[in-house]
């Protein structure tokens, strides 16, 4: 925070601000450590979800990604359309799956929820806005085309549209 004298100082604890983006799937309390997700097996340790082995007596609670999957409530939508997609559908979708695999290895909460055919293309839903953006950027980088993002901060929702 910048003061009237022009230099920066850290915020004090009583000056903490409410989060700018509300995510209903983010835990509102600190989870006991370790906590294991009964659906995917991710472990909550050191304040974050990771992959690993949990002790037999670990607490159990759904991770935010599995919670979103159960509720069918994506954080990201990636729509892929166009003649190029029709001709190269399998390789474009494999690129998206490879991107998910890479991200999920380090960040268990970043997952593809579904890949569905829609009129004129394919829609990929994700558990996280970052993965939706990464998939869009990877497809655009590999195949060019037109890429657009629409972010709804109130809903913590990202819509990515790619066409070629």
Q: What is the CATH number of the domain that holds 78?
A: 3.30.70
Over residues 91-145, the pLDDT tens digits come to 999 999 999 999 999 999 999 999 999 999 999 999 999 999 999 999 999 999 9
Q: Note whether residue 80 is domain-resident.
A: yes
Q: Note whether residue 103 is domain-resident.
A: yes
Q: How many structural domains compose the chain? A: 1
Q: Note whether residue 108 is domain-resident.
A: yes
Sequence-distant (6+) residues with CB within 8 A of 162 are: 78, 79, 80, 81, 136, 139, 140, 145, 146, 147, 148
Q: Note whether residue 137 is domain-resident.
A: yes
Dihedral (CA of 60, 61, 66, 71) sign: positive
Domain that holds residue 136: 73-163
Instruction: Please state, in angstroms and rounded to a whole number, the distance separating the CA atoms of residues 10 and 71.
Output: 38
Q: Note whether residue 9 is domain-resident.
A: no
pTM for the model = 0.83
Q: Note whether residue 49 is domain-resident.
A: no
Expressed in angstroms, the distance from the first to the final Cα of the chain is 44
């Amino acid at each position: 925070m910048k003061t009237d004298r022009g230099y920066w100082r850290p915020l004090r604890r009583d000056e903490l601000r409410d989060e700018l983006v509300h995510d209903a799937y983010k835990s509102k309390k600190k989870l006991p450590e370790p906590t294991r997700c009964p659906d995917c097996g991710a472990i909550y340790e050191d304040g974050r979800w990771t992959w690993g082995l949990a002790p037999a007596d670990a607490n159990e609670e759904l991770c935010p990604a599995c919670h979103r999957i159960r509720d069918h409530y994506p954080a990201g939508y990636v729509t892929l359309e166009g003649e190029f997609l029709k001709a190269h559908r399998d390789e474009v979708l494999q690129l998206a799956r490879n991107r998910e695999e890479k991200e999920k290895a380090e960040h268990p909460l970043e997952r593809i929820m579904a890949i569905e055919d829609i009129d004129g293309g394919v829609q990929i839903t994700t558990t996280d806005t970052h993965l939706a953006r990464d998939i869009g950027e990877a497809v655009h980088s590999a195949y060019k085309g037109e890429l657009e993002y629409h972010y709804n901060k109130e809903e913590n929702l990202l819509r990515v549209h790619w066409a070629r």
